[in-house]
Amino acid sequence: MACTTQSASEYVRSARVHLERELKNLSVIVENLYQQGVFSDEEVSEIKAEKHDFEKNRNLLDSVRSKGEAACYEFLKIINMTRKRTLEKTMHYWISCFPFREDTQMDTNYLQGSRPCHQYQAKLKSKAHKISNEFWKSNKSLFEENKPDLSYSSLVLDTQGSPSPSKIKKFKNKKSKMSRPKKMKTYIPEDRSEMSPSKLLELNEDILLVGEPGIGKTTLSHELLKLWAERDSKKLDYMFYFDMRETSHITKDMSLEDLLFSVFSEPDEGKEEVLKDIKKYSDNVTIIFDGVTHLSSSVVQRIVEKDLLPDAKVIVTCRPDDEEDLFSGDSLRVEVKGFSEQSVRTYIAETLGEEQGNVLRNVELLTLCHVPMYALMVAACFSFQTPEDSPQPNSVTEIYINIVRHCLQINSNKTTNRHLDLFIKSKREEILSLAEAAFHATEGKTVNMTEFQCKDSCVLSFLKTLDNKVGSTKTVTTYAFLHYTMQEFFAALWLLKNPDKIKDVFQQCLTEEKKHMKHLIPFMCRLLTEESPSLMKCLIPDQQLKKTSEWFLEEMINTFSPHLCKKDEAGTDDSGLDVDILFYCQCLYESQCPEQCVDFLDRLDYDLDLSGESLSPYSCCAVAYVVNQSSKRKIWLNLEGSELSEQGMRRLFGCLQNVQCSRTTNRGVRLQEQEQCRWTPERKSKQLLLDLCLKAALHKGESFHDVVNTLFSLFSVNTDLNNILLDFYQHVVSERSLSVIPKLVTLFQSAPAVWSINLSERKSSILLEVLKLTSGKKQVKLTGCSHEESEVRSFLQCLPHISQLR
């Protein structure tokens, strides 16, 4: 081990024999010594002129030593900072033992590799900037005037590794063994800001970014690219980005070189040297494959599977439907969950300025905006729409209809609103041909519309052009939608023009290969309605739409969940199969048809089992809408083990008057119990719902009376209420939300005269606190009894506040 007084010159001398053999990439060391003024031009040429590497090394070491202590120190610094490429591994420990002066150790930007490699890195960085700039530019094109400055806003990134909802379904019957407080924590996804794009960039592991359509995966990938491009280039590293939906030119059996250089970017010089560096030091390579649905190209598959570039960091983004095939378990799974409520507010404020109030006051819109794609659409809609103009959009499809109408209007030489329908009718052929191309592209899981020929400027305003290089000199231009979800919207539109194909598409949705076609259905549900704003009536005869809407939903449910046939059609209503209730609720919400909601609830026997589901705020909105349509019967709602955010809770809160305590979770079990005529109310989920609602309402200032009313209407038998209130009181105190306590005390005051307390749950001390706060003595009925001495002693202290004990 070197001591602090050790001279650099001596250190080099003592290892000279090894250094002669173990120095690598001499040109890099020489170039750095030249840049630091240690070597002159002639000395560099002299070293380069030596025939063999061994002689070059010897010459270099002699020259450095002859220049004295300072030159040797600089030499050691250089090989320390570039050791990965310039020193064999066996010497790494040796160099790390030299006592460098701390202040100078890291301050110089040394060349890490050869010049062509550095040039290529610079080229990749400028490409990364360009990709990111173009991305935001195409987003801005949705706005007419006052184009906002769009940039990355923070997203909720969940690394807790929770599986996708489709997977949750499979586990849903397993009872969680987590304690109640722990469980509560998982119900409320907060913006745990510990994960951010820069942290993702720093991580040394593969990453799978999973998320619903439009939730921000591509945007996050672009942010990673941008951060990388802006990063100080001390390290010689490379980053590649492939939009897997755009790259029809990634062929099945192309080489690594073709993928990196022909598809993404080619080095200006030293192609072979660069490729060698990439392969040899693959830990310096990051590759993003965005929007992966399957691994059809062998080069992509080999990279993902670590067969090629084994140490590269691979980032894959996909929708939850495709996750199962891609998630190896070795990569870090990050769920992109969209905007938090705070991010929505900031985003809307920044994009809409004074118009923001129109969105922020509308609960549905606000909820919708947690999906950034919809936030963008909402912002674009409101940037041109005055509230008097037309009713505010509420559902996803409505936002898309508005955007389409808006784009057509701005490309029609300012047709007035009044004449817009006529204008759209005049463009019917062009719009439908675009829709047809969208359908075929969607069916083929691509965004490349290779066959699309139309040159109409209105239609082209929905598209961006993609230049695909075929061969070294030829480029083919194809079109793609500004966003994939927009393509799905148009595909849905075309399908309604061709209703005879709808049943086939329903069948396709059941297959592994074409299950992505399901995303078209919610769009179709809204497009089938006659509500304003309308698009379809300008494109398809009314009668045709009406006819389709008569069978559409029923056919869909019968295809996807045959066991849910209407009771009069089938003797039994339950085969134990899972029903994708959230999907149906979303469709019903888009349809905005109360009768269909009631019909659906009837098929489910008014039992909404959402246990184990992950509910986005928008799903909660949809569920609340469906539940609210049942005016005659109350709904059993089971949320056991489900995951929902506070935003979502507040949406559900609006439908509680139609909810009664849920039955047991499992449909199979339920059937069994039905046979025995024994219904057991599921107290936990009721309690959970109430806890969440109370928390949401009291913290966020929903009407306090509504909370009280809901509580009491929900509990015809009120035995549970006080226990729940005590739990809640404890929660409030531990969270230090002291301002809530007076409200809570009012709630206790209005509680039923007899307080049933379960003493086995260690409530005495809280009970005592509450009894002291409330006026008048209470009658208390003990429903469970603890034998713990401390518990009993503490309960005795409550006695002065109790008028009668049962």
Ligand X SMILES: Nc1ncnc2c1ncn2[C@@H]1O[C@H](COP(=O)(O)OP(=O)(O)OP(=O)(O)O)[C@@H](O)[C@H]1O
- Can you read off the two tokens belonging to residue 338? 């969209």
* CB 433, min distance to ligand X, A: 23
Cα→Cα distances 413→53, 140, 408, 424, Å: 71, 20, 9, 13
Q: Which is nearer to ligand X, 348 or 711 (CB)?
A: 348
* 291 lies in the binding site for ligand X (CB under 6 A): yes
Q: Burial letters for 713-732: b for 16+ Cβ neighbours within 10 Å, e otherwise?
A: ebbeebbbbbbbbbbbbbbb
- Judged by CB under 6 A, the stretch of 147-155, 324-332, 349-357, 687-695 that binds ligand X is 147-155
* CB 651, min distance to ligand X, A: 21
Closest CA to 735 of 68, 113, 181, 26: 181
* CB 488, min distance to ligand X, A: 8
Residue 38 CA to residue 75 CA, distance in Å, equals 9
Q: Which is nearer to ligand X, 337 or 695 (CB)?
A: 337
Chain positions 334 to 373 lying near ligand X, rule: CB under 6 A, are 372-373
Which residue matches tokens 């184009």? Answer: 147
- Can you read off the two tokens belonging to residue 243? 């939009």
How far is residue 400 CA from its own chain's centroid? 20
* CB 346, min distance to ligand X, A: 10
Interacting residue with ligand X among 9, 86, 164, 219 (CB under 6 A) = 219
Q: Which is nearer to ligand X, 462 or 728 (CB)?
A: 462
Interacting residue with ligand X among 56, 77, 84, 217 (CB under 6 A) = 217
* CB 308, min distance to ligand X, A: 25
Concatenate the DSSP letters of all residues of 260-278 into one string: IIIII---SS-HHHHHHHH
155 and 339 in contact (C-beta within 8 Å)?
yes
Closest CA to 121 of 239, 15, 230, 35: 239
Closest CA to 30 of 47, 10, 13: 47
* CB 643, min distance to ligand X, A: 19
Q: Which is nearer to ligand X, 483 or 695 (CB)?
A: 483
* CB 323, min distance to ligand X, A: 12
Binding string, residues 449-488; x marks residues near ligand X by CB under 6 A: ----------------------------------xxx---
| Strand-pair partners of 465 | 479
* CB 740, min distance to ligand X, A: 33
Longest Cα–Cα distance of the chain, Å, equals 105
Residue 112 CA to residue 91 CA, distance in Å, equals 17
Q: Burial letters for 755-766: b for 16+ Cβ neighbours within 10 Å, e otherwise?
A: bbbbbeeebbeb
Q: Which is nearer to ligand X, 39 or 489 (CB)?
A: 489
Closest CA to 731 of 774, 699, 779: 699
For residue 520, give the amino acid letter. Answer: L
- Judged by CB under 6 A, the stretch of 12-20, 208-216, 525-533, 554-562 that binds ligand X is 208-216
Q: Which is nearer to ligand X, 218 or 561 (CB)?
A: 218
Which residue matches tokens 């050691």? Answer: 76
Q: Which is nearer to ligand X, 155 or 505 (CB)?
A: 155
Residue 540 CA to residue 170 CA, distance in Å, equals 41
Q: Which is nearer to ligand X, 196 or 265 (CB)?
A: 196
Which residue matches tokens 């801005």? Answer: 140
- Map residue 779 onto helix, strand or coil: strand
Cα→Cα distances 561→104, 236, 321, Å: 69, 55, 18
Chain positions 413 to 452 lying near ligand X, rule: CB under 6 A, are none
The DSSP letter of residue 512 is T
* CB 291, min distance to ligand X, A: 5
* CB 401, min distance to ligand X, A: 18
Q: Which is nearer to ligand X, 485 or 710 (CB)?
A: 485
270 and 114 in contact (C-beta within 8 Å)?
yes
Cα→Cα distances 749→79, 566, 709, 746, 755, Å: 76, 47, 14, 5, 11
Chain positions 310 to 329 lying near ligand X, rule: CB under 6 A, are 319
Interacting residue with ligand X among 25, 63, 164, 218 (CB under 6 A) = 218
* CB 373, min distance to ligand X, A: 4
Q: Which is nearer to ligand X, 488 or 791 (CB)?
A: 488
Q: Which is nearer to ligand X, 90 or 133 (CB)?
A: 133
ω into 165 cis (within 30 of 0)? no
Radius of gyration of the chain (CA): 33
| Strand-pair partners of 464 | 480
Interacting residue with ligand X among 113, 163, 189, 214 (CB under 6 A) = 214
Closest CA to 422 of 537, 530, 538, 527: 538
Concatenate the DSSP letters of all residues of 10-36 into one string: HHHHHTHHHHHHHB--HHHHHHHHHHT
Closest CA to 288 of 337, 335, 334, 220: 220
Chain positions 148 to 187 lying near ligand X, rule: CB under 6 A, are 152-153, 155
* CB 445, min distance to ligand X, A: 12
Binding string, residues 89-128; x marks residues near ligand X by CB under 6 A: ----------------------------------------
Binding string, residues 575-594; x marks residues near ligand X by CB under 6 A: --------------------
Which residue matches tokens 């090894």? Answer: 18
- Judged by CB under 6 A, the stretch of 167-175, 212-220, 493-501, 777-785 that binds ligand X is 212-220
Q: Which is nearer to ligand X, 524 or 759 (CB)?
A: 524
Residue 282 CA to residue 286 CA, distance in Å, equals 8
- Judged by CB under 6 A, the stretch of 44-52, 73-81, 213-221, 324-332 that binds ligand X is 213-221
Q: Which is nearer to ligand X, 216 or 612 (CB)?
A: 216
Q: What does residue 266 show for φ and ψ, rounded to 5 degrees?
A: -100, 140
Which residue matches tokens 């809307």? Answer: 348
- Judged by CB under 6 A, the stretch of 78-86, 215-223, 421-429, 674-682 that binds ligand X is 215-223
With CB under 6 A as the rule, give the number of residues binding ligand X. Answer: 20
- Can you read off the two tokens belonging to residue 503? 């049943």
- Judged by CB under 6 A, the stretch of 122-130, 214-222, 456-464, 676-684 that binds ligand X is 214-222
* CB 162, min distance to ligand X, A: 18
238 and 284 in contact (C-beta within 8 Å)?
yes
- Torsional class of 748: left (φ above 0), alpha (ψ -120 to 50), beta (otherwise): alpha
* CB 31, min distance to ligand X, A: 41
* CB 526, min distance to ligand X, A: 18
Q: Which is nearer to ligand X, 111 or 377 (CB)?
A: 377
For residue 309, give the amino acid letter. Answer: L
Q: Which is nearer to ligand X, 335 or 355 (CB)?
A: 335
* CB 588, min distance to ligand X, A: 23
Q: Which is nearer to ligand X, 117 or 215 (CB)?
A: 215
Q: Which is nearer to ligand X, 214 or 522 (CB)?
A: 214
The DSSP letter of residue 193 is T
Interacting residue with ligand X among 148, 213, 681, 752 (CB under 6 A) = 213
Q: Which is nearer to ligand X, 82 or 132 (CB)?
A: 132
Interacting residue with ligand X among 163, 189, 211, 617 (CB under 6 A) = 211
* CB 295, min distance to ligand X, A: 17
Kindly tell me the sign of the dihedral angle through the C-alpha atoms of 625, 626, 629, 632. negative
Contact footprint for ligand X (CB under 6 A): 139, 152-153, 155, 211, 213-219, 291, 319, 372-373, 376, 483-485
